[in-house]
Amino acid sequence: MASPVRQPKKTQQGVLPFRQNGGRRAGAGRKPKGEKALVGHGPRALLAARFPAHVTMKLLRGLPRLRSRREYAVLREAFAAGCDRGGFRLTQYAVLNDHLHFLVEARDRATLSRGLQGLAIRIAKALNKLWSRSGTVFADRYHDRILKTPREVRNALRYVLGNGKKHAAEGREVAVPQAIDTFTSAPWFDGFRETIVVRGIAAMPRPIAAAHTWMLTIGWRRHGLLSVHEVPAVG
């Protein structure tokens, strides 16, 4: 009896007999470079209306320092114009030489993004006019951290209002000769243990909005009022 003739195996199209090295994997892709590659561009955390947020915005390198009389004057005007718009509220701030810290409230993530975008545009236009220049002012998109407990809010208040003193203690070309840092919203802050009197403040447009969230009005105070002598951890 003749042996059966073997039929050649059919090649299955689209299937390769070896493993490829493609596809997503840790560390793959072009590495970020340059000043604008500072903050990851993954999805941001959701924001509920009851939670404040701590926001940081950094300037491009090579621009003039912000902690000077002229720069701070135009910044305060921009803050006053954009501190309370469409459900977005700028409640506290700190101005450092090359970056800004904000404590803000917003209805949701979209409101936060719109509010910060509008504020950043106001700041950039004002500074560019002062500096007789045009173009980008901020180095990257903002960084934010949602504050979900009263303790986190108190720590953020201490950090923002005391950040200038922290930089001064670290020798980073920042001076804070007064009890409070007048390049922050501390002159308008009502949560210090000590009584603070700032001359001329009544004649200035208020650069911050009143907080609405329980966290920023009542909650954080349960851990104690701030002292003008408190400084964020140095290091």
Residue range 31-50, pLDDT digits in tens: 444 444 444 444 555 678 99
Contact 93, 76 (CB under 8 A): no
Domains and CATH numbers, the chain: 53-223 (3.30.70.1290)
CA 28 to chain centre: 28
Residue 183 CA: distances (Å) to CA of 20, 143, 163, 191: 57, 21, 10, 17
The parts of the chain modelled with pLDDT lower than 50 are 9-42
List the structure tokens of 84: 């309370």
Q: What is the pTM of this model?
A: 0.79
Tokens 């926001």 locate to 55
From the list 165, 218, 226, the residue with the least C-alpha distance to 192 is: 226
Contact 170, 78 (CB under 8 A): no
DSSP string, 82-103: HSEETTEEEEEEEE-SSEEEEE
